[in-house]
Amino acid sequence: NNAGVAAPARALDLDEAQWDAHLDVNLKGCFFAAQAAARIMSRQEEGGAIVNIASILGERVAASVAPYAAAKAGLIQLTKALALEWARHKVRVNALAPGYVITDLNRDFFATEAGQALIRRVPMRRAAELSDLDGPFLLLCADASRFMTGAGGAVDGGPLVSGLFAARRRSAPALRGARR
C-alpha cells in the first residue's frame, strides 16, 4: 500500500488545500486502499497481508515537511489499529518505514551537493535503492511472517537509531580500542 506526495513548505506558509492534499494521499488514500483489500482478503480462507509504506519521517521529523510527517505518523498508527481489528480475519497489516530511497523523482536532487550532504548523514553512508526494500517487503508478505501483524520496521540505513550528533563523528575511539 504505497502512496505518497511531498511538497516541502514551511508550516507558516501552508494553506488548507496543501495540508488536505498531503493527508488525502498519504493517509486517507492508504486507508481506503487497505479497506478495499481487506474486504476481499477477509473472505478468503488464507486471509492476506497488507504492507503500508510509511516513512522514517513518521517517527523523526525534518523541517518543512509537517503535513507529510503527520500523515506518515498517522499511517504508522493506522497500521497498528487495522492490524488489531483485522487479525481475527487473518488479515495481517504491517508497515515499512523507508529512509532516503533513490527514485526517478529524486535522483537529480541526490546528485546535488545538498542531496549528497543528506546521504553523508546516513550511518551506512548511502541512500537506498528500490531493491533494498524488496527483502523486508517480501518478508512481511511471506508465510515466514504469518504471526507478525501491527509491526513496523525502518529500512533506512540507520538514521532512526543514530544519535543526535552521530553524523559529526568520524570514528569511535572506544570501538577502535576494543578491536585490538
60-70-17 Cα angle (round to 5):
140
Distances (CA, A) of 123 to 32, 56, 107, 152, 170: 35, 14, 20, 20, 11
Which residue type is seen at 15?
Answer: D
Inter-residue contact 157 to 122 (CB < 8 Å)? yes
Residue for cell digits 511538497? 7
For 110, other C-beta atoms within 10 Å of its C-beta total: 16
Distances 9 to 4, 19, 97 between C-alpha atoms, Å: 16, 10, 22
Q: How many Cβ atoms are within 10 Å of 26's Cβ, its own excluded? A: 25
Active site residues: 68
